[in-house]
Amino acid sequence: MAALLKEYKDLFAEHDVEGLIGEGAPRDEYDQEATDVAQKLQDLKSAGTKLDHAVVLNVLMEIWGKSFNLKSAELETRREKLTKLATKVEELCVKP
């Protein structure tokens, strides 16, 4: 799980949804969100949930909204970036 978690953290940093790393924040700015998403997806997978794009995006949206204290409208402005991130996260979910 540690190697996979590093891949999650790297993806979150590369996508820099909030633009914080681009403004000088440390590369680990999104490590907590990456960890929370990885754990939630692992829990869902263990419970037998198929981790398709919609599930991954919903998890990202939920955790992102809570983490950054975003109202629904604010979260919607990030949907495009979160959708792109969800596509990459979904690829990690199907790795053996």
The pLDDT tens digits for 47-58 are 999 999 999 999
Helix runs in 1-96, H state only: 2-15, 31-46, 53-67, 72-76, 79-93
Per-residue pLDDT for 45 more than 70? yes
Q: Tell me what pLDDT residue 92 has.
A: 87
- Residues 57, 76: contact at Cβ < 8 Å? no
Tokens of 15: 């996508």
- Residues 12, 85: contact at Cβ < 8 Å? yes
Q: Which residue shows structure tokens 């754990």?
A: 39
The pLDDT tens digits for 49-95 are 999 999 999 999 999 999 999 999 999 999 999 999 999 999 988 76
CATH class held by domain 2-93: mainly alpha
Q: Tell me what pLDDT residue 2 has.
A: 80
pTM beyond 0.95: the answer is no
Question: What pLDDT band is residue 21 in, cutting at 50, 70 and 90?
Answer: very high
Secondary structure (3-state) at 19: coil
